[in-house]
Amino acid sequence: MRTDELITLLSRDAPSQAGRRFAPLLLGAGVVGAAVSLAVLIAWLGMRPMHEAMRSGSFWMKAAYTTLLAASGLFVTTRLARPGGRAGAALWIAALAIAWLATMAGMETMHTPAAGLPRLWLGQTWRVCPLRIVALSLPVLAAALIALRRMAPTQPALAGAMAGLFAGAVGATVYGLYCRETAAAFVVVWYSLGIAACAALGAAIGARALRW
Amino acid sequence: MTDTETVLKALMLRGLAGDAKAHGELLATLARHLRAFFARRLGGAQVDVEDLVQETLLAIHLKRDTYDTAQPFTPWAYAIGRYKLLDHFRRQGVRRAVPLEDAGELIAAETTEEGAVRRDLDRLLSDLPERQRALVQDVKLTGHSIEEAAGRQGMTPGAAKVAIHRSLQRLARKVRQ
């Protein structure tokens, strides 16, 4: 087929088309994925009593941290979804959230006697926390990557990583409805590790599945 | 650059509004720019230029809803051309850098003369159902509107539109294999 024939063919397939708005699509994928994660959490680990959680500062600290990371991942992925898109300033939201929690962790450390430090940083669940977060993130990651495939990321691995950041942070938010760990030191290490693992998974999958 | 950008963006916006003629003109102009751009970037391997032009035009066409009309058009088109070039390098197993932000390079030169293709798109469509293939051939060779071609193939215009669009999506998948 000659190129001018191809162009003729393409020009006949040109219905009027509104631009695709990706942020609502990705947000929708996040909501659907989070609903599945929540169902998995309830069936698997159960939720902690909410009246108790709502009164604990650490519950809100965790929720704020993971929500900020999710928002950062959402904005950055939205930008990377279009040809030529750059990560942009929204990545700073994640950086600031990490810096904020690391500062809180440093303050906790200063106020904790040496003997209490392992408990502060490792909590009671450090062995299982990152893996559980990754597991709860998988439905969100799948939904986010499916949404991304309808777009045209020109940096597929990076776009996949940022979709993974978004998914990991949403998964971690869901996990926060169960988790009773209270220390910022714990969260900044083990929550972040789970979320980072999800981002790495997103990058690995994205590098293949998001090509077009 | 500014002038070309203005012209291309206007064509793109009209195409997105359903103006088939503007869409065709846009693709024809882009083809000339892409041809010059790929030829320069591929150096000796000129034989792949026209294949890449066709693959990129298909991608631009099928992904046109990812263009944000509030943004300039040329960087979007350049990003797709650059992406297809890097993808080509990757499939060839070579590592080469192409500047991220150099949309000006895309529209700096034009080559009107079509090169030879190595990969024949007609052949990639040869396993389509007979009627669908006849439809594609009819539109492609005669430039008939899909409505006219549909009538000649005994299809409804709606079914013909879907068939053409699916064939193009299929082509885009196959050129990457």
Question: B81 Cβ partners below 8 Å, 6+ apart?
Answer: B34, B37, B38, B56, B106
Whether residue A83 and residue B18 make contact (CB cut-off 8 A), yes or no, is no
Q: Is A82 on the interface with B (CB under 8 A)?
A: yes
Question: A112 Cβ partners below 8 Å, 6+ apart?
Answer: A120
Higher-confidence position of B130 and A178: A178
Q: Is A212 on the interface with B (CB under 8 A)?
A: yes
Helices (H), A123-189: 129-149, 156-175, 184-186
Instruction: Work out the average pLDDT over B89-116.
Output: 85
**pLDDT tens per residue, range B2-41:** 689 999 999 999 999 999 999 999 999 999 999 999 999 9
Per-residue pLDDT, B45: 62
Q: Which fold has domain B2-106?
A: Rna Polymerase Sigma Factor; Chain: A (1.10.1740)
Best of A4, A7, A79, A82 to substitute, by most chain B Cβ atoms within 10 angstroms, is A7
Average pLDDT for chain A:
96
Q: Residue A161 — very low, low, confident or very high, per pLDDT cuts 50/70/90?
A: very high
Domain B121-175 annotated CATH 1.10.10.10: yes
- ipTM for the complex? 0.93
Whether the predicted pLDDT of A37 surpasses 90: yes
The verdict on residue A12 lying in a domain is no
The verdict on residue A16 lying in a domain is no
Task: Compute how many other C-beta atoms are within 10 angstroms of the C-beta atom of residue B48.
Answer: 19
Global pTM reads 0.93
The verdict on residue A97 lying in a domain is yes
Q: What is the spatial distance between Cα A5 and Cα A136, in angstroms, rounded to a whole number?
A: 49
The verdict on residue A192 lying in a domain is yes
Domain that holds residue A28: 23-209
The verdict on residue A140 lying in a domain is yes
For chain B, domain boundaries: 2-106, 121-175
Instruction: Work out the average pLDDT over B92-100.
Output: 84
The verdict on residue A18 lying in a domain is no
Best of B14, B19, B23 to substitute, by most chain A Cβ atoms within 10 angstroms, is B23
Whether residue B161 and residue A152 make contact (CB cut-off 8 A), yes or no, is no
Instruction: Work out the average pLDDT over A14-21.
Output: 86
Tally of structural domains, chain A: 1
Whether the predicted pLDDT of B131 surpasses 90: no
pLDDT > 90 in chain A, percent: 92
The verdict on residue A44 lying in a domain is yes
Q: Residue A18 — very low, low, confident or very high, per pLDDT cuts 50/70/90?
A: confident
Identity at A138, one-letter amino acid code: L
**pLDDT tens per residue, range A108-158:** 999 999 999 999 999 999 999 999 999 999 999 999 999 999 999 999 999
Residue A98, Cα to own-chain centre: how many angstroms?
A: 14
The verdict on residue A149 lying in a domain is yes
